[in-house]
Amino acid sequence: MKICLSEFTYKSFEELLEKNFKNDEFILIDSEANITSGEGKPDIALVSYELMFKALKSESFFERYLALIDECSFVQGSWAGTESPQAQALISHAKIFSHGGGLHAIPIATYVFAQILRSIKSIDAHIELQREKSWKQMMSVGELTDMTVGITGFGGIGQEVARIAKAFRMKVYATKRTPVISDNLDQLFKPSELDEMLPLCDFVINCLPSSEETYRIFSKSRFELMKTSSMFINVGRGESVDEVSLAEALQEKKISCAAIDTTDPEPLDSSSPLWTLENCFITPHDSAWGPRAPLRAVELFIDNYRRLKEGKKLLNQV
Active-site residue list: 237, 266, 285
Distance CA 180, CA 188 (A): 8
Cα separation of the two ends of the chain = 22
Distance CA 260, CA 170 (A): 22
Q: What are phi and psi of 314, to 5 degrees?
A: -80, 155
